A and B are shown apart, each in its own frame.
Chain A
Amino acid sequence: DTEVTQTPKHLVMGMTNKKSLKCEQHMGHRAMYWYKQKAKKPPELMFVYSYEKLSINESVPSRFSPECPNSSLLNLHLHALQPEDSALYLCASSQAHSEYYEQYFGPGTRLTVT
């Protein structure tokens, strides 16, 4: 099973709402990632978890709060977002402490902030 799943597929939220994005993988990967991708741009790394611990935060605003409850799950909690946060949010996973880190991406959540 080389699948990373993400829910929901689409999300529309107001600037005062709180919502969460979910990501799951069952490949035994111990590194998980959140990316933000705007149209016609490459993915921008937001967070990296390694062995359920946050290892990289790319100076992401605090209105985005990641959580890794166990080795298979990754959440991204959203609060007080701005319209410019509208984007495709991608989750990925890879081996950790390996020779290389081929990342497997989920289908993404298309987020619209109104």
Chain B
Amino acid sequence: ELKVEQNPLFLSMQEGKNYTIYCNYSTTSDRLYWYRQDPGKSLESLFVLLSNGAVKQEGRLMASLDTKARLSTLHITAAVHDLSATYFCAVDDSGGSNYKLTFGKGTLLTVNP
């Protein structure tokens, strides 16, 4: 059974600081996704990482994938309050046919002034 572990589960940080969220998974998948969810809202796709060494950046967020270590990171640079949300990583272990994503438990990020 595929396991996806995120840490930390809770992250409180000050504006302007940097931090990293980690996502470890137990399969050999090379497809990993990051989503953001604001309270009471739906999930918004942030990044799609499709190969070893993939790096994607959008604004203050940068995601990377190391398939050999089975690890993805979401790095936050100079955090601002608007980044407060829950961040989920999800691994696609479908083998190209069954469309199933397995989600981590999520990291609740709170950015304080």
A residues with a Cβ closer than 8 A to B are 31, 33, 40-43, 45, 48, 50, 55-56, 90, 92, 94, 96-97, 99-108, 110
Residue of A40, A43, A94, A106 with highest tally of chain B CB at under 10 A: A43
Query: Measured between C-beta atoms, what is the minimum distance from A11 to chain B in Å?
Result: 15
Interface residues of B, CB < 8 Å — how many? 24
Q: Does B26 contact A (CB under 8 A)?
A: no
Which of chain B's residues has its CB closest to A44's CB?
B103
Interface of chain B, helix or strand or loop or mixed?
A: loop
Q: Does B45 contact A (CB under 8 A)?
A: yes
- Report the bound CA distance from A107 to B99 in whole Å: 20
Interface residue from A45, A50, A105 paired with B42 (Cβ < 8 Å): A105
- Report the bound CA distance from A55 to B99 in whole Å: 9
Which of chain B's residues has its CB closest to A100's CB?
B31
A94 touches B99 (CB 8 A): yes
Q: Does B83 contact A (CB under 8 A)?
A: no
A100 touches B100 (CB 8 A): no
Query: Measured between C-beta atoms, what is the minimum distance from A36 to chain B in Å?
Result: 12
Q: Does B94 contact A (CB under 8 A)?
A: yes
